[in-house]
Amino acid sequence: MKTKGIYFLYRVLQLLTFPAVLAYFLVRGLRQPAYFTSLPHRLGFLSRRTFRQTVPGAIWLHAVSVGEVLSLLELVPRLRAQFPHAPLFVSTATLAGRAAARDKLSALANGIFYAPIDHVFAVRRVLRTLRPAMVLVLETEIWPNLFREAKRAGCALAILNGRISDRTERRYRRSAIFR
């Protein structure tokens, strides 16, 4: 199947499952109210006051949870030293990850937020707000819409600390998704 067909299928499946995603956040929000407060970020709504860019060259670091946030403890100060004027933003996917990022990185990062769900409308909204020059994703999490939209926006994209098996790499190369 061609890459466009795969993306089309992915987006159709996302559209069909979107009500279930919202229901998931509703149920989680009833158990943990913090999930309600994370919903605007997950839908791509970032505060223009905190995240609006006035200088080029922002760097978006996506760390899924606590482990990935902890792996940023050495990288963020180095990025800050190497690119002192570049805004640094950290996103996480979990409540614990955001709490860890807030505790450990708030003095170095210009903003910390929940990662948007991998729907085009949410990802585009975050990319338009941050205007990053570079998106760094920690670990081997595949976010097809984020990767595709970052490329469309002209952002450099790298997966840090990622691991895949030789067999999986061959399948990815054959499918042409990452070309």
User: Is 68 annotated in the active site?
Assistant: yes
Q: Are 61 and 54 in contact (CB under 8 A)?
A: no
Task: Please state the domain extents for the chain.
Answer: 3-175
Q: Residue 88 half-sphere exposure, CB side, CA atoms within 13 Å?
A: 21
- State phi, psi for 83 to the nearest 5 degrees: -125, 70
Tell me the C-alpha distance between 136 and 150, whole Å: 11
Q: Are 167 and 173 in contact (CB under 8 A)?
A: no
Supply the pLDDT for residue 119. 94
Helix axes 3-31, 34-42, angle to 10 degrees: 160
Out of 68, 139, 141, 149, the active site residue is 68
Residues paired with residue 60 on neighbouring β-strands, in sequence order: 89, 135
Nearest to 78 by CA among 38, 34, 108: 108
User: What's the Rg (C-alpha) of the chain?
Assistant: 16
Q: What is the pLDDT along the chain (179 residues), one digit of tens a residue?
A: 567 778 788 889 999 999 998 899 889 889 988 888 899 999 999 988 778 776 789 999 999 899 999 999 999 999 999 999 999 999 999 999 999 999 999 999 999 999 999 999 999 999 999 999 999 999 777 788 999 999 999 999 998 876 667 776 777 666 655 55
Supply the pLDDT for residue 175. 61
Q: Are 87 and 56 in contact (CB under 8 A)?
A: no
Q: Are 136 and 128 in contact (CB under 8 A)?
A: no
Supply the pLDDT for residue 131. 93
Class of domain 3-175: alpha beta
How far is C-alpha 134 from the chain's CA centre? Answer: 12
